[in-house]
Amino acid sequence: MVRRRLLLRIELKSDPQVLCGVRGAISPIAGAIGFKEEDCRAITLALDEAITNVIRHAYGGKPGRRIEIELSKLNGAKQEQAGLEILLFDRGVKPKPDSFKGLPPGELRSGGLGLHFMRQSMDKVVHTRVGSTNRLRMVKFIR
Amino acid sequence: MQISARRLENKTIFDVVGDIDLANSPAVRKALLAEIKEKKIPCVIMNLEGVKYIDSSGIASLVEGLKASRDAHARFILFGLSKSAREVLQLSRLLNLFEIYDNEEQALSNERA
């Protein structure tokens, strides 16, 4: 059984200016849990991209909307179950099914990279919609 | 983030300092497109030595610059990528589409790193 211990719960506004502060907070937390430097960068990128997607797509660039983030440490009976869980909640528009396709990278285009980065950086990336709330769960395990 | 331009004969070098994310990537895009499309500078060089972090919106701005330079038959060069910036470009699988050098000297002498 995997145990989940809440480390941090924060509420942000949908303003791009908050991104640098979140990046500054997440990397030391990931490092303290036991992630290597490279994995700390990957987690930072995934969270930055997730918040960017909420600001741009769920809230359509409108400032002042609420984004909630929970960071939890995961511990399991097995070492490979130890890791970090990130939950993001917003009350923006429901994502279109096409937005989860994650366009194939490598083509010279300027959109669609965010989800690809999140999937490449984390072990699990799951979007769900509960009522009027979008919930994103991302997990990375310590290796 | 700060972005400033140095103009050398037929080249423009943009010195960028700070993170490139959703908050400031529009400024990077605007500066690049003005130089390539409006001023029609034949070679635009991005000094990224001072950029420790770049996200997908920053990569998108660089892609816009590359597209515009191809349309204008101009050159678009990057140099001084940090480990983090290089990782993100690799993750995007766009690394090989850009002309990239280690430092300004190499970029100006056009020696591929």
Position A103 pLDDT exceeds 70: no
Domains of chain B: which residue ranges?
Answer: 2-109
Considering only CB atoms, A52 lies closest to which of B22, B66, B67, namely B22
Contact B49, B14 (CB under 8 A): no
Residue B113, pLDDT score: 41
CB–CB contact A113 B92 (8 Å): yes
pLDDT digits (tens, 9 = 90+) for B53-94: 999 999 999 999 999 999 999 999 999 999 999 999 999 989
- pLDDT confidence tier of residue B45, bands split at 50, 70 and 90: very high
ipTM above 0.95, yes or no: no
Residue B1, pLDDT score: 95
Task: Please list, in sequence order, all residues whose beta carbon lies within 8 angstroms of the beta carbon of residue A107, skipping any fewer than 6 positions away.
Answer: none
Element (H, E) at A121: helix A113-121
Position A6 pLDDT exceeds 70: yes
Contacts of A55 in chain B (CB under 8 A): 22
CATH topology for B2-109 is Transcription Regulator spoIIAA (3.30.750)
Interface of A with B (CB under 8 A): 16-17, 19-20, 23, 38, 41, 44-45, 48-49, 52, 55-56, 105-106, 108-111, 113-114, 116-117, 120-121
Contacts of B66 in chain A (CB under 8 A): 108
Residue A79, pLDDT score: 67
CA distance B13 to chain A (A): 22
Contacts of B61 in chain A (CB under 8 A): 110
Element (H, E) at A137: strand A133-141
Position B99 pLDDT exceeds 50: yes
pLDDT digits (tens, 9 = 90+) for A117-143: 999 999 999 999 999 999 999 999 998
Phi, psi of B87 (to 5 degrees): -60, -45
If one compares A102 and B31, the residue with the highest pLDDT of the two is B31
Contact B85, B107 (CB under 8 A): no
What's the DSSP call for residue B45? E
Domains of chain A: which residue ranges?
Answer: 3-141
Contact B81, B94 (CB under 8 A): no
Element (H, E) at B26: helix B25-33
Contact A71, A108 (CB under 8 A): no
Contact A83, A74 (CB under 8 A): yes
CATH top class, domain A3-141: alpha beta
Position B111 pLDDT exceeds 50: no
Interface test mutation site (partner B, options A19, A57, A115, max chain B beta carbons within 10 A): A19
CB–CB contact B87 A55 (8 Å): no
CB–CB contact A23 B53 (8 Å): yes
A-contacting residues of B 17-36, CB under 8 Å? 19, 21-23
Contact A67, A12 (CB under 8 A): yes
pLDDT digits (tens, 9 = 90+) for A56-86: 999 999 999 999 999 999 997 776 789 999 9
- pLDDT confidence tier of residue A95, bands split at 50, 70 and 90: confident
User: Does residue A70 sit in helix, strand or coil?
Assistant: strand
pLDDT digits (tens, 9 = 90+) for B17-35: 999 999 999 999 999 999 9
